[in-house]
């Protein structure tokens, strides 16, 4: 059952609101502009809701219009203020040169300012008001700069952090400045006593769906005498301030919510909300020792918690919570490969890791006590799942058996751990500074001895973090991995091979990307298992060789050496994998990269190859992560091949009596699978981090055997399916929409699950 903790994004619709909307649609469907009985009934309802709204907002005077939501209210307010500035300018008056908005404002505000500023041809400077570490506006800055501003926008409470603005302090800083003042009241509605009429606020937009009304209804308050320009012209509804037939179902629903607010009994009191936040915070502290709260509780809405956990990225936490049925959101927008840091937390000046790994839990004032209790229980269960799977330290760790190969990635850069389960000896290849803590915990929990920390080359964009890793796990470091025993890339001096139980690592010089580049070849007995080729060959690219430390003329010969030693089909594991392709082979890369094919087939001499490559590398742009591109991009990712199977297609595949039985694979990490097992499908668990171990096995399956990957949302499983297809298995599939769309019995509504 789902526990919804994302109320700042949107809320479920309150049963009273749903009933009010349905009753309007069924019985009182009239158009409030009609003068017959049906219309008059609708008009009466409209007036009644406006009257309740005025009372709730403390706005007996001024305009109060119904809109489609806050974004429309913001546009209307900005258009109104800027049209007035243009009128003044056109009348020959000097107008203030700037438009100011809080640095943590919802994007709707700065984007509207820029849009209308450009469209109206005003050309004013649109500037952010700085905020402090506590998320509050810098009032001294505002006081000094407000006199040069035509419009100042400051939200009442922040959607990511819950930080409540000091509206009285802002009013004071604006006094006498002449600036118009817009307050985005979206997150404050029903949570803070705004008393709009008592403040010098000119415009205040609101959104119904943040407070248990449906999407598509909002309000805009405009102070008496404040400039106004309609955004929508037409039939003259809302006193010609906002044309368009009114959304009566939405208005009635919003009315029911505001009525419930006014009457009491539905929403929890401030004291109860504070107590619930405290319990959630305690559960988070228990689950994740070291958790950091990104906004001060005493200045924030009690319903919002914004947290970061050292060593645990936002993506991991979101996957974990989702597996536990806790719906939360990233404090930032999360891409599949990289979470963009939160601009709100960045503006507050929080450390980069906190801004990049923030997660927001926001509950609603109509949530039940049972919901909060269950949320706390599941948060603790999340902590347990992480402890049980070695992600965070546990008091009674029993060593877990490692897979042979584990891959860790940071923004497209790859680090590998080779671990021999029998001897408990392991080697790390291309350690990344961001991973030091994670790797140390990972090895400690598996009772591994670290016998080598190897770099495939001296990196252009970061120093090796080998020493930091040695320092992080002194008790697990073998003598031969100590700094005095190894060369600059971490290879034990005078050793021919590194033995890891029955596995052996040997090295091969492959100068090109850098003068010192090497490949590490992993053998089990006489068989080559995989080759760690650093940035010499990457999926879709060859390592660039235009750095000061590169050896471009040696590159061609190195590729031939590599081919002699690993063959066209040997599995290559690269130092970078910008497109989540996991592994490649020389045969696959030759098909995609004419330059590589040319040098291996003898069409290019080493010199001609170096010249062609230098041409490709001219003006190489940074990667999308704004780090240095380590690969000379040669083949663009192929138009993404469709690998998705929808639920019906998979059910049909599973139901087929004839044909080969599909192999089902759950690529979620172990901590997710613990929280929500997929027992009914009984797939083989192969988390994405250890996927490379199974690739050779699946490649060897008969061509018509389907391999179907699952994950939470269909993202990671699609990566796995594409990787396997690229390696030649055409029957690799991903469950579209992930387990989130797999049919399970769900209650009809949020409120049925946890009755109010
Ligand atoms: N302002 C704030 C503070 C918000 O949180 C949101 C929604 O996320 C908006 C404005 C936009 O509201 P709507 O989606 O209703 O237009």
Residues 6+ apart with CB under 8 A from 39: 30, 31, 32, 33
The string of DSSP letters for 144-212 reads HHGGGEEEEE--SB-TTT-BBP-HHHHHHHHTTS--EEE---TTTTTTS---GGGS---EEEEEGGGTT
User: Residue of the nearest CA to atom 13 in ligand 1?
Assistant: 70
Q: Which atom of ligand 1 is nearest to the CA of 159?
A: 5
Q: How far apart are the first and last CA of the chain?
A: 16
SS (H, E, C) 210-252: HCCCCCCCEEEEECCCCCCCCCCCCCCCHHHCCCCCCCHHHHH
CA distance 290 to 138: 29
Q: Please tell me if the domain spanning 405-633 has the same topology as the one spanning 644-741.
A: no
With a 6 Å cutoff on the Cβ, whether 184 touches ligand 1 is yes
Question: Mean of the pLDDT values across residues 584-613?
Answer: 93
Question: Mean of the pLDDT values across residues 369-394?
Answer: 93
With a 6 Å cutoff on the Cβ, whether 186 touches ligand 1 is yes
How far away, in angstroms, is 690 Cα from ligand 1 center? 40
Which member of 153, 334, 415, 426 is catalytic? 334
Q: Is pLDDT of 546 > 90?
A: no
Out of 6, 10, 11, 70, mutate this one to test ligand 1's pocket (max ligand atoms within 8 Å of CB): namely 70
Which two tokens mark 234? 């037409």
Q: Could you give the count of Cα atoms lying within 13 Å of 668 in the half-sphere of its Cβ?
A: 29
- In the chain, where are the structural domains located? 15-263, 268-388, 405-633, 644-741
- What pLDDT shows up at residue 341? 87
How far away, in angstroms, is 185 Cα from ligand 1 center? 9
Q: How many CB atoms lie within 10 A of CB 132?
A: 14
Q: Which of 242-256, 508-522, 592-606 has the lowest mean pLDDT?
A: 592-606
- 54: nearest Cα among 168, 224, 169, 210: 224
**8 A C-beta contact, residue 483 and residue 467:** yes
Q: How many CB atoms lie within 10 A of CB 526?
A: 5
With a 6 Å cutoff on the Cβ, whether 108 touches ligand 1 is yes
CA distance 570 to 530: 7
Which two tokens mark 58? 């403390």
Share of the chain above pLDDT 90, in %: 80
- What pLDDT shows up at residue 679? 66
The single residue listed with the structure tokens 């801004």 is: 355
- What pLDDT shows up at residue 182? 98
Q: Which atom of ligand 1 is nearest to the CA of 207?
A: 15
CA distance 353 to 362: 21
Which two tokens mark 241? 């301030």
- What pLDDT shows up at residue 578? 84
Question: Mean of the pLDDT values across residues 236-259?
Answer: 97
Question: Mean of the pLDDT values across residues 624-648?
Answer: 64
What 3-state DSSP class applies to 124?
A: coil
What are the two backbone dihedrals, phi and then psi, of residue 631, each rounded to the nearest 5 degrees?
A: -110, 140
What are the two backbone dihedrals, phi and then psi, of residue 673, each rounded to the nearest 5 degrees?
A: -60, -35
**8 A C-beta contact, residue 227 and residue 298:** no
Handedness of CA 289, 310, 349, 274 (dihedral sign): negative
- What pLDDT shows up at residue 398? 72
**pLDDT of 26-46, one tens digit each?**
988 999 999 999 999 999 999
With a 6 Å cutoff on the Cβ, whether 712 touches ligand 1 is no
Which two tokens mark 712? 């939470």
- What pLDDT shows up at residue 370? 95
User: Residue of the nearest CA to atom 7 in ligand 1?
Assistant: 9
The DSSP code for 502 is T
The single residue listed with the structure tokens 């006193």 is: 239
User: Residue of the nearest CA to atom 8 in ligand 1?
Assistant: 9
The string of DSSP letters for 586-653 reads HHHHHHH-HHHHHHHTTSS-HHHHHHHHHHHHTTPPP-TTSSPP-EEE-SPPPSPPP-EE-HHHHHHH
Which two tokens mark 546? 């235009």
- What pLDDT shows up at residue 449? 97
Q: Which atom of ligand 1 is nearest to the CA of 155?
A: 3
Handedness of CA 701, 427, 406, 626 (dihedral sign): negative
Q: Is pLDDT of 600 > 60?
A: yes
Q: Residue 354: pLDDT band by 50, 70, 90 thresholds?
A: very high
pTM, two decimals, is: 0.87
With a 6 Å cutoff on the Cβ, whether 357 touches ligand 1 is no
CA distance 591 to 347: 46
How far away, in angstroms, is 49 Cα from ligand 1 center? 21
Q: How many CB atoms lie within 10 A of CB 737?
A: 14
Does the domain formed by 15-263 have CATH 3.40.50.10420?
no
In the sheet that holds 304-308, the strands lie side by side as 292-293, 304-308, 359-362, 329-330
- What pLDDT shows up at residue 412? 86
The string of DSSP letters for 523-542 reads EETTEEEEEEEETSEETTEE
Q: How many CB atoms lie within 10 A of CB 646?
A: 12
Q: Is pLDDT of 680 > 80?
A: no
User: Residue of the nearest CA to atom 9 in ligand 1?
Assistant: 70
The DSSP code for 653 is H
**pLDDT of 317-345, one tens digit each?**
999 999 999 999 986 543 334 557 899 99
CA distance 9 to 15: 19
With a 6 Å cutoff on the Cβ, whether 106 touches ligand 1 is yes
Question: Mean of the pLDDT values across residues 71-98?
Answer: 98
**pLDDT of 463-492, one tens digit each?**
789 999 999 999 999 999 999 999 999 999
**pLDDT of 382-434, one tens digit each?**
999 999 888 888 877 677 789 999 999 988 899 999 999 999 999 999 999 98
Output the average pLDDT for the chain: 92
With a 6 Å cutoff on the Cβ, whether 7 touches ligand 1 is no
Question: Mean of the pLDDT values across residues 75-90?
Answer: 98
Out of 156, 159, 301, 331, mutate this one to test ligand 1's pocket (max ligand atoms within 8 Å of CB): namely 159
Q: Which atom of ligand 1 is nearest to the CA of 8?
A: 5
How far away, in angstroms, is 107 Cα from ligand 1 center? 9
User: Residue of the nearest CA to atom 5 in ligand 1?
Assistant: 159
Out of 104, 157, 210, 219, mutate this one to test ligand 1's pocket (max ligand atoms within 8 Å of CB): namely 210
CA distance 240 to 233: 7
CA distance 402 to 399: 9
Does the domain formed by 405-633 have CATH 3.60.15.10?
yes
Which two tokens mark 46? 């409209």
**Residue 334 annotated among the catalytic residues of the structure:** yes
- What pLDDT shows up at residue 170? 98
Which two tokens mark 742? 């797999």
Q: Which atom of ligand 1 is nearest to the CA of 215?
A: 15
- What pLDDT shows up at residue 464? 84
- What pLDDT shows up at residue 411? 81
With a 6 Å cutoff on the Cβ, whether 159 touches ligand 1 is yes
**8 A C-beta contact, residue 175 and residue 146:** no
Which two tokens mark 73? 């209210």
Calculate the CA 46 to chain-centre distance. 40
Q: Which residue has the higher pLDDT, 341 or 500?
A: 500
With a 6 Å cutoff on the Cβ, whether 360 touches ligand 1 is no
Q: Is pLDDT of 559 > 70?
A: yes
Assign a CATH topology to domain 644-741: Oxidized Rhodanese; domain 1 (3.40.250)
Q: Is pLDDT of 609 > 80?
A: yes
Which two tokens mark 473? 């796990």
With a 6 Å cutoff on the Cβ, whether 77 touches ligand 1 is no
Q: Which atom of ligand 1 is nearest to the CA of 218?
A: 15
SS (H, E, C) 19-61: HHHHHHHHCCCCCCCCCCHHHHHHHHHHHHHHHHHHHHHCCCC
- What pLDDT shows up at residue 621? 61
How far away, in angstroms, is 493 Cα from ligand 1 center? 61
Q: Is pLDDT of 461 > 90?
A: no
Output the CATH code of domain 268-388.
3.90.1150.10
Out of 9, 207, 209, 304, mutate this one to test ligand 1's pocket (max ligand atoms within 8 Å of CB): namely 207
Q: Is pLDDT of 628 > 90?
A: no
CA distance 513 to 631: 9
- 240: nearest Cα among 228, 248, 255, 252: 228
**pLDDT of 141-190, one tens digit each?**
999 999 999 999 999 999 999 999 999 999 999 999 999 999 999 999 99
* CB-count burial class (<10 Å; 0-12, 13-18, 19+) for 371: buried
Question: Mean of the pLDDT values across residues 361-367?
Answer: 96
Q: Which of 568-572, 618-622, 724-728 has the lowest mean pLDDT?
A: 618-622
SS (H, E, C) 282-340: HHHHHHCCCCEECCCHHHECCCEEEEEECCECHHHHHHHHHHCCEECEECCCECCCCEC
Q: Which neighbouring-strand residues pair with 500?
A: 503
């Amino acid at each position: 059952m789902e526990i919804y903790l994302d109320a700042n994004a949107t809320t479920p619709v309150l049963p009273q609101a749903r009933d009010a909307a349905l009753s309007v649609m069924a019985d009182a469907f009239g158009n409030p502009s009609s003068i017959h009985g049906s219309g008059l009934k609708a008009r009466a309802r409209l007036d009644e809701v406006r009257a309740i709204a005025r009372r709730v907002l403390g706005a007996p005077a001024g305009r109060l219009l119904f809109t489609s939501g806050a974004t429309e209210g913001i546009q209307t307010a900005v258009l109104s203020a800027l049209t007035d500035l243009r009128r003044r300018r056109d009348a020959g008056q000097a107008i203030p040169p700037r438009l100011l908005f809080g640095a943590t404002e919802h994007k709707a505000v700065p984007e509207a300012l820029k849009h209308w500023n450009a469209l109206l041809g005003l050309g004013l400077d649109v500037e952010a008001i700085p905020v402090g570490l506590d998320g509050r506006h810098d009032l001294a800055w505002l006081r000094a700069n407000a006199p040069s501003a035509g419009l100042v926008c400051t939200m009442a409470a922040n959607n990511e952090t819950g930080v409540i603005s000091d509206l009285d302090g802002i009013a004071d800083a604006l006094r006498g400045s002449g600036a118009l003042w817009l307050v985005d009241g979206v997150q404050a509605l029903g949570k803070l006593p705004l008393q709009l009429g008592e403040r010098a606020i000119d415009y205040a937009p609101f959104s119904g769906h943040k407070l248990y009304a449906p999407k598509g209804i909002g309000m805009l308050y405009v102070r008496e005498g404040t400039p106004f320009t309609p955004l929508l012209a037409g039939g003259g509804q809302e006193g010609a301030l906002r044309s368009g037939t009114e959304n009566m179902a939405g208005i009635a629903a919003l009315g029911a919510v505001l009525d419930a607010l006014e009457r009491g009994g539905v929403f929890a009191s401030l004291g109860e909300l504070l107590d619930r936040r405290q319990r959630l915070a305690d559960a988070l502290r228990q689950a994740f020792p070291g958790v950091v709260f990104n906004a001060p509780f005493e200045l924030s809405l009690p319903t919002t918690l914004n947290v970061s956990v050292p060593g645990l990225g936002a993506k991991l936490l979101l996957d974990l919570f989702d597996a536990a049925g806790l719906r939360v959101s990233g404090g930032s927008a999360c891409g599949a490969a990289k979470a963009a840091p939160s601009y709100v937390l960045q503006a507050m000046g929080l450390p980069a890791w906190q801004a990049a790994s923030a997660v927001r839990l926001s509950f609603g004032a109509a949530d039940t006590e049972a919901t909060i209790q269950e949320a706390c229980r599941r948060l603790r269960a999340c902590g347990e799942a992480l402890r049980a799977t070695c992600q965070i330290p546990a008091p009674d760790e029993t060593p877990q058996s490692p897979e042979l190969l584990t891959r860790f990635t940071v923004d497209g850069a790859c680090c590998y751990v080779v671990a021999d389960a029998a001897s408990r000896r392991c080697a790390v290849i291309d350690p990344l500074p961001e991973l030091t803590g994670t790797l140390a915990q990972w090895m400690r929990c598996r009772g591994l001895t670290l016998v080598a920390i190897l770099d495939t080359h001296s990196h252009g964009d970061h120093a090796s973090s080998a020493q930091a890793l040695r320092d992080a796990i002194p008790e697990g470091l073998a003598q031969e991995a100590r700094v005095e025993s190894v060369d600059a890339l971490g290879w034990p001096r005078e050793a021919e091979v590194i033995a890891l139980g029955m596995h052996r690592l040997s090295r091969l010089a492959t100068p090109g990307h850098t003068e010192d580049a090497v490949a590490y070849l992993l053998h089990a007995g006489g068989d080559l298992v995989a080759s760690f080729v650093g940035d010499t060959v990457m999926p879709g690219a060859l390592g660039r060789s235009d750095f000061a430390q590169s050896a471009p003329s040696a590159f061609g010969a190195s590729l031939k050496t590599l081919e002699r030693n690993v063959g066209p089909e040997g599995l290559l594991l690269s130092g970078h994998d910008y497109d989540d392709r996991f592994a490649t082979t020389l045969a696959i890369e030759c098909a995609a990269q004419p330059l590589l094919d040319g040098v291996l087939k003898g069409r290019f001499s080493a010199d001609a190859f170096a010249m062609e490559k230098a041409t490709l590398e001219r003006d190489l742009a940074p990667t999308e992560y704004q780090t240095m591109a380590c690969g000379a991009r040669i083949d663009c990712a192929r138009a993404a091949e469709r690998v998705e199977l929808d639920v019906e297609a998979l059910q049909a595949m599973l139901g087929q009596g004839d044909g080969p039985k599909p192999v089902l694979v759950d690529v979620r990490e172990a901590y997710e699978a613990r929280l929500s097992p997929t027992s009914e499908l009984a797939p083989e668990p192969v988390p994405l981090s250890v996927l490379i171990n199974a690739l050779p096995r699946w490649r060897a399956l008969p061509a018509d055997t389907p391999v179907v990957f699952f994950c939470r949302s269909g993202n990671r499983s699609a990566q796995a399916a594409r990787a396997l297809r690229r390696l030649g298995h055409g029957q690799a599939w991903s469950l579209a929409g992930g387990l989130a769309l797999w049919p399970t019995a769900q209650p009809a509504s949020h409120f049925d699950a946890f009755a109010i």
